[in-house]
Chains A and B, each alone.
Chain A
Amino acid sequence: MAAEAISESRTGSDFWDGVRLSMPVVVASAPFAVLFGTLAVDNGFSVLEAFLMSAMIYGGASQMVGIELFGQHVAPWLIVLSIFAVNFRHVLYSAGIGRRIAHWPLLQQALGYFILTDPQFAIAEARAESGRPVGFVWYLGLGLPVYVFWVIESGLGAVFGKMIPDTHALGIDFLLPIYFLGLVLGFRKRPLWAPVVAASAVASIIAYRTVGSPWHVSIGAVAGVLLAVILPPHHSGVGKRP
């Protein structure tokens, strides 16, 4: 009885630990959800379709690209391909996080991959690195508020979008880069962090200028990962692990 109560309260606190970490993500993504809803309706989506896109795809940048192309009457298959291209970085997240959540039951894993966004991956990786377990309840506490707010705010943006004041003065366009920079810095104690960041930064900027968006993300990411693969293992610290 007592042990059960303890394990229950432990589960509850794990969930709220996750919720607490989700708050900056909820704040940073809110303007984009509203903006997405607004732009979606502007580009010919119904309110329901905007809501569905957020609920089913749940990937901000790819949704923005999707509605932009939709508004320009681009062929449907090309819109889907573009969504795939923008989201391609998740392949790397998926390969990385799989090591942390492989012990979950299959359905929980399936749900876990569905909500695997940039911050979800980064925060879960940071937790694994600090030696604490990445449990399903904690992971859900982190991801669920972000998802629920994202979907609701998309709908609100679709309904009330015209009411957004001056987005530039509010800094909305630059909130995510600030947030992502914070996430990058959170990994600065990892072996090879500085060379990987330098390689990815240079490669993504060059690719952005030459190949163009969204491919600069995948190209820059592959450059950083390849550098870590190529450098001798004693630099990467993998062999030193217990």
Chain B
Amino acid sequence: MSTTFWIILAGAVATYLTRVGGHLVISRFETIHPRVEAGLNAVPAAVLTTLVAPELLHAGPAEWAALIVTVLVSLRCGLMAMFLAGAAVLIIARQFMG
């Protein structure tokens, strides 16, 4: 077995531990404190935001246009429409603004 294979295997084990670990810790408690539950309810917004926010530092006009359209479309439509609208604006804007 090559070194590369062992890196992949160890990386896979490490990744699976992160995907199952939070549940294993939480499930040891019989009841969940309301504050912990409030924290868990905040997880989607908290984590997903960190995947977007730093991108704003490098965003130019085309990226901002795409994000603004994404926000506007999301107020009325579903995820697919929102994503396609944002992507379309980005691609068109980049043809003109680079």
Contacts and interface: CB of A to CB of B under 8 A. Distances in A.
Contacts of A125: 43-44
Interface in A70-110: 70, 76, 79-81, 83-84, 87-99, 102, 110
A53 B12 CA distance: 8
A183 to B, nearest CB: 5
A199 B52 CA distance: 13
A23 B80 contact: yes
Interface in B15-33: 15-27, 32
Contacts of A217: 47, 50-51
A113 interface: yes
Contacts of A223: 46
B71 A236 contact: no
A225 B87 contact: no
A176 to B, nearest CB: 7
Nearest to A193: B45
Interface residues of A, number: 101
A135 B76 CA distance: 27
Interface string B55-98: 11100000100110011001000011011101100110011000
A97 B23 contact: yes
B19 A116 contact: yes
B39 A184 contact: no
Interface in A166-218: 168-171, 174-187, 190-193, 196-197, 199-205, 208-209, 213, 216-217
B7 A70 contact: yes
Nearest to A218: B50
A238 to B, nearest CB: 4
Contact of B43 (A44, A52, A62, A92): A92
A96 B18 contact: no
Contacts of B74: 182, 185-186
Contact of B53 (A53, A169, A171, A201): A201
Contacts of B45: 184, 187, 190, 193, 196-197, 200, 224
A242 interface: no
A112 to B, nearest CB: 9
Interface string A27-56: 110000000000000001110010011001
Contacts of B18: 84, 87-91, 94
Contacts of B46: 92, 196-197, 199-200, 220-225, 228
A180 B54 CA distance: 12
| For the complex of A and B, 5 pairs with smallest distance between CB atoms | A224-B46, A95-B22, A94-B22, A98-B23, A220-B50
Interface of B: 2-12, 14-27, 32, 34-57, 63, 66-67, 70-71, 74, 79-80, 82-84, 86-87, 90-91, 94-95
